[in-house]
Structure 1
């Protein structure tokens, strides 16, 4: 497949690029600073662009089978950029008639897990309070997706870890895995790539966790 990856210099975005290249896909990595891109390999194209300029992004997405975004907030002061940058990506896709879009969100944006233990509920409330602005941003991002003409999927992981890819994790379409506290960035990337051709995930939030 021909894929475009936004946020390709981040933890999840970089994993998407590396895993996609290993799988034999053609990958266009959209970056602001090519020097920060760690991935390399045959089939990789590096596209430098201002991510706030939807018009400039059109050339990066035209003719692609799917677009995957690892864009997100790296620190609390970045709150607001997920919705803003995703809005530019959506506009570029709509202008070029590209349908499939997968993005990274977060578990607290989704519905509570069924029969969630009290300790997990309490922890969730604390995290949501501390990172309130971040989750407001992600909810605004998901609202942009819902209004769009794309076949979107929002992947909602809990706390992220730096671990090798395992391919072993739980997935709940439209929900949240019970007691799902962690997942590795590499496995989030693995899940996103696996969902590209999964029709059950279209226009859905998908919870993923170990």
Structure 2
């Protein structure tokens, strides 16, 4: 079966599909003719039904059957985040360390992980401006950023055989689209949830994005562009 644009229909396994970016991602993937399987603690948060949407009740903290979830899947997308819980422990890091071996067992190679723009990639530091923001107005999310950083280190050091990519998103609001986000190492934009979702959907299918931990921007980075570190 093919999507409306003639591309082959793909199956996405989505974690965090009931979140602010996740809801848009699921709708967009279905709208492009793909199938979506989503793990959700509360499936009722999906305010819509679709023939190609399969919602399985569960949580990453409740030891789901990852091998069963991954059966027949082409792409895995994680848009998980719980700032309060991540103050206490690295929930996402622990989960990804279980997910990657299951992906290997099931022969699934492509994985997109959404982090935050204030989470530093393993190979470079944040810019002074972003370090200041993280230590002041965003200090309540430091546990979340440390969890994201642990995930990026694990993927970089121990999962070279997996076609992973990390979107260090600058997420701002659920307003209307402000344009198309482009991948960048330095220029970061505060984007709407739907634009981040559209970026994730494009990027997980982009082989050029494999093994990158980039931010995204509405503008092509220029010589005086904003620095993301």
TM range (shorter): 0.7 to 0.9
Corresponding residue number in structure 1 for 2:205: 197
Tell me whether 1:17 sits opposite 2:26 in the alignment. yes
CA contact (8 A) 1:72 1:104 kept: no
Corresponding residue number in structure 1 for 2:226: none
Q: Which has the larger radius of gyration?
A: 2
Q: 1:183 aligns with which of 182, 191, 195?
A: 191
Deviations 1:12-61 (A, max 9, x none): 12111111001100111111222222342231111223424666021111
Across the aligned residues of Structure 1 and Structure 2, the Cα RMSD in angstroms comes to 2.4
Corresponding residue number in structure 2 for 1:142: 152
Distance 1:100 1:208, change over 3 A: same
CA contact (8 A) 1:54 1:92 kept: no
CA contact (8 A) 1:58 1:93 kept: yes
| Equivalent-residue separation in structure 2 for 1:35 and 1:55 (angstroms) | 19
Corresponding residue number in structure 2 for 1:107: 117
**SS of 2:17 mapped into structure 1:** coil
Q: Name stretches of at least 5 consecutive residues in structure 2 with no aligned partner.
A: 1-9, 219-229
Q: Name stretches of at least 5 consecutive residues in structure 1 with no aligned partner.
A: none
| Equivalent-residue separation in structure 1 for 2:186 and 2:112 (angstroms) | 17
Deviation at 1:151, TM superposition (A): 0.6
Corresponding residue number in structure 1 for 2:216: 208
| Equivalent-residue separation in structure 2 for 1:123 and 1:7 (angstroms) | 25
Normalized against structure 2, the TM-score is what? 0.77
More helix by share: 1
Please show how residues 1-210 of structure 1 align to structure 2 within 5 Å: 1-52=10-61, 56-73=65-82, 75-79=83-87, 80-110=90-120, 111=124, 122-127=132-137, 129-146=139-156, 147-148=158-159, 149-172=161-184, 175-177=185-187, 180-210=188-218
Deviation at 1:185, TM superposition (A): 1.3
